[in-house]
Structure 1
Amino acid sequence: MQLKEFSFICPVIESAVVLKAIETVTSPDAIAQTLGNTDSVEERKRKLPSQLVVCLIIAMSLWSSDSMGTVLKNLVNGLSRQWTKLGQYWKVPNSLSISAARQRVGCRVMSQLFERVVRPLATEETPGAFLGELRVYYSYR
């Protein structure tokens, strides 16, 4: 699925669409490489693997009014099996565990992942994307 199929016209974005967008833009390989480059890979098997924590941080910005536990539960239930290799009886960790996992991953991972993934999608042929030679940016605030 191409990102151009996603639209921000609808004021409420369904969870499935957001999860598909995360999977489309940020591949598990890109996250794994970024974690390796920043030495943020866990040394032992954890209930919250670093790759899942990175997706949680992204999802938290999209569902900022929900609790971290709720966002994590929805994330694990919504992402494809390629992403979450968690057991059938996995339970959502408490908020202290989630906070500790976020600190373990750190901000360097998110900064480098942002630099690796984020690119303008509009080309010169995209209607309304340029004003003269300047790229137009929209703010949805």
Structure 2
Amino acid sequence: MRTRGGRPTRCQSGPSVTQWATPELVDEVLAECRKRDRRPGALPAGFMVYFTLGLALFHQNSYDDVAEHLVGGVPELSGCIPHKASFTRARERLGPEVVERLFHRLAGPLALTGLTGSFCWGMCIAAVDGFLLDVPDNQANRQTFGGPKDEGPCASRTAVLKVFLMPLNLFHPE
């Protein structure tokens, strides 16, 4: 795996997230958000963008598992997995704005105008997607998002359900 500025340019196996979130696009978004690598020895901001995407894509894996797939391509890390606290501090420095802007730069219609199959019986074909976000279990979050309804094994978890309806073609064919 080769790197560019601390960011992987190719995944070790399978299709790469860098096919869509290119290192150039990540650099642009980091510049727009004024996120720079200021501290020597700190995890690079570009690496943290890909790490955050990896956590979302492989939510069932631990920090270490996701990091293990990425650090091999970053010479500055010498193949060593940093401590979890380093990832936490780096994610705090990165903040949510970078990933949000990256999403808005990449989001758009999936079907091309006039593409056969993007409409059915005059209606736009859409996709439904959703996910759960674990949030800290505290009084403020329970008031905002509610809490668990039972006393089962997940009773100490507070989670936010996000569901989206996304049209696959925003344009009506001529």
Structure 1-normalised TM-score? Answer: 0.72
The answer for the alignment partner of 1:115 in structure 2 is 104
Shift of residue 130, structure 1, vs aligned partner: 2.1
> RMSD in angstroms over aligned alpha carbons?
2.3
Contact 2:71–2:80 (CA<8 Å) still a contact in 1? no
Match of 2:90 among 101, 115, 121: 101
Q: Which has the higher contact order (CA 8 A, sep 6+)?
A: 1
The answer for the alignment partner of 2:70 in structure 1 is 75
Match of 1:29 among 24, 28, 31: 24
- Higher strand proportion (structure 1 or 2): 2
Match of 1:136 among 125, 136, 141: 125
CA deviations 1:81-123 (Å, max 9, x no partner) are xxx4424733111111111111110001111111112222211
CA distance, structure 2, for counterparts of residue 31 and residue 89 of structure 1:
22
Shift of residue 43, structure 1, vs aligned partner: 1.2
- Higher helix proportion (structure 1 or 2): 1
Q: Does 1:90 align with 2:79?
A: yes
Shift of residue 134, structure 1, vs aligned partner: 4.3
Contact 2:33–2:98 (CA<8 Å) still a contact in 1? yes
CA distance, structure 2, for counterparts of residue 57 and residue 36 of structure 1:
18
Structure 2-normalised TM-score? Answer: 0.60
The answer for unaligned runs of 5 or more in structure 1 is: 1-14, 78-83
1:45-84 equivalences under 5 Å are: 45-77=40-72, 84=73
How many residue pairs are counted as aligned between the two chains?
119
Contact 1:124–1:130 (CA<8 Å) still a contact in 2? no
Shift of residue 30, structure 1, vs aligned partner: 0.7
The answer for unaligned runs of 5 or more in structure 2 is: 1-11, 131-174
Shift of residue 125, structure 1, vs aligned partner: 4.3
